[in-house]
Structure 1
Amino acid sequence: MSTTANTSSPRSGVRRVLHDNGLGIVFGVLFLLMLGGQAVSGHAYFNDQQISEGVEPVSLGHYLTSSSFAVDVVENWQSEYLQFFLYIFATVWLVQRGSSESKEVDDVGPESERDQRIGPYAGPGSPRWARTGDWRTVVFSRSLGLVMGGIFLLSWGAQSVAGWAAFNAEQLTSRQDPVTWPAYLGEPEFWNRTTQNWQSEMLAVGSMAVLGVYLRQRGSPESKPVGAAHADTGETG
């Protein structure tokens, strides 16, 4: 009685997982590396400030649980998720002729149920909430933007609390009175931290949308095909 050898192996299975999820895995690893680099360099910078002010330096563990480290981390998170949130919703209604980041110029709006393959037009492989045609489809139809917006609000709130704690720590070090959280929200320090991140995100998104009209990156889905005309819109390479 003959048997067919099973050519698959755990090793090949691992390679397949890594291949199929390489983008998320690589950027996840890079995130952890960069966060570790920020922790080490931020700790060194923080202790330099402590010493210059005649205060004892702190351990790495103490720094990682401090409001100074927390505010430096989450102030960047909130600006990134604001960028995604605005871009996801803006590209429903706004277009950029010639950009791969844009829909076709005549396709503004949420599009029809047939185009979006929801309700009666859903296929057998469509997510369950896309097939129901009720409130679940309404929520699922906007779930990406809602989650990005929610993460933005949570991280911005975390930034305000961590920034408030760090601000009051500096106030006490300078022998000044601490402020309440609502009062901190009106401080120039809070809005300086916020807007310096926001302006850079808006510049980056706008640059990507416009530069992609005239420039190419071969093989990237973020770019049009190299030979595509500048006026071609919504094409990816």
Structure 2
Amino acid sequence: MVEALRWIKENSLALAFLVMFLVALGGQAVAGLLDFNDLQVAEGAEPVSFLEYVISSSFAVDVAENWQSEYLQFFLFIVFTVWLVQKGSPESKKPEDAGAESDEKQQVGPYAGPDAPRWAKVRGPRLWLFSNSLGLVMGTIFLLSWLAQSVAGQAAYNAERLGDLRDPVAWGAYVTSPEFWNRSLQNWQSELLAVLSMAVLSIYLRQRGSPESKPVGAPHSATNVEG
């Protein structure tokens, strides 16, 4: 029991966000079903069941378009902060530390400690892959989510066109259409604004006890300092 409670405490951040994610996803499914069926009835069609809705292209495209924008945000932030800096922000490295940094500072190869991950102690492709694994995985998830959005979006878009007695469009035509880019860009701009706000507002504002904030008494110019 004690071990279980300790495990929960040590992983409480991930667990809290996992629970909130599942609740939000479930809420989106229920609200989306009600909205979808309301439109179905208004158009003289039969309502669909919950299962039919959550496996539909309409639900899939709404989920995928949000996922791809979130992972795009994190991918860009992870990669850009290797080289780009913001003086005074805890989300940025110090200007003099811009770049991939030395092996000694990154604790790889001969500088790796006894508890370092195994691939941090080797050289060659494995070290490069592990050194860039976070960005690679985030970028891959973004691309897969983008692909899922494009496929589900095409199906949902064609369903609407067929309902209006218009011809369906091919995948290539859909991903170059205003419909697709309107869906994508309205999410991208909000995510990029959120990152910009966090990077700049954290220069001057504080949240006591948060590692995403500088200590309350830290100077505004202090960079890469966490509370």
* Cα drift, residue 55 of structure 1: 1.1
Match of 1:53 among 40, 43, 51: 43
2:34 aligns to what? Answer: 44
1:218 aligns to what? Answer: 208
Could you report, residue by residue, the CA deviation over 1:22-53 in whole angstroms, capped at 9, with x for unpaired residues? 00011001100000000000000001111111
2:144 aligns to what? Answer: 154
Unaligned runs of 5+ residues in structure 2 are none
* Cα drift, residue 186 of structure 1: 1.4
1:141 aligns to what? Answer: 131
Secondary structure of 1:106's match?
A: helix
1:179 aligns to what? Answer: 169
* Cα drift, residue 68 of structure 1: 0.1
1:112 aligns to what? Answer: 102
Unaligned runs of 5+ residues in structure 1 are 1-10
Matching residue's letter, 1:57: P
Task: Tell me if the contact between 1:120 and 1:133 (Cα under 8 Å) persists in the aligned partners.
Answer: no
* Cα drift, residue 84 of structure 1: 0.4
2:73 aligns to what? Answer: 83
Q: How far apart are the structure 2 equivalents of 1:233 and 1:119?
A: 28
The reply on whether 1:128 has 2:121 as its aligned counterpart is no
What is the RMSD of the two structures over their aligned residues, measured on CA atoms?
A: 0.5
Stretch moving more, 47-56 or 111-120: 47-56
1:233 aligns to what? Answer: 223
Could you report, residue by residue, the CA deviation over 1:36-82 in whole angstroms, capped at 9, with x for unpaired residues? 00000000000111111111111111101100000000100000000
Size of the alignment, in residue pairs? 227
* Cα drift, residue 140 of structure 1: 0.4
Q: How far apart are the structure 2 equivalents of 1:68 and 1:18?
A: 36
Q: How far apart are the structure 2 equivalents of 1:174 and 1:64?
A: 23
Secondary structure of 2:97's match?
A: coil
Q: How far apart are the structure 1 equivalents of 2:68 and 2:16?
A: 22
Match of 2:86 among 89, 92, 96: 96
The reply on whether 1:74 has 2:39 as its aligned counterpart is no
Q: So what's the TM-score if we normalise by structure 1?
A: 0.95
Matching residue's letter, 1:192: N
Could you report, residue by residue, the CA deviation over 1:112-136 in whole angstroms, capped at 9, with x for unpaired residues? 0000000111000100000002211
Match of 1:28 among 9, 13, 18: 18
Q: How far apart are the structure 1 equivalents of 2:220 and 2:147?
A: 41
Q: So what's the TM-score if we normalise by structure 2?
A: 0.99
Counting aligned pairs with the same residue, the percent is 63
Superposed structure 1 runs of 4+ greater than 4 Å apart: none
Matching residue's letter, 2:31: S
The reply on whether 1:196 has 2:186 as its aligned counterpart is yes
Task: Tell me if the contact between 1:122 and 1:131 (Cα under 8 Å) persists in the aligned partners.
Answer: yes
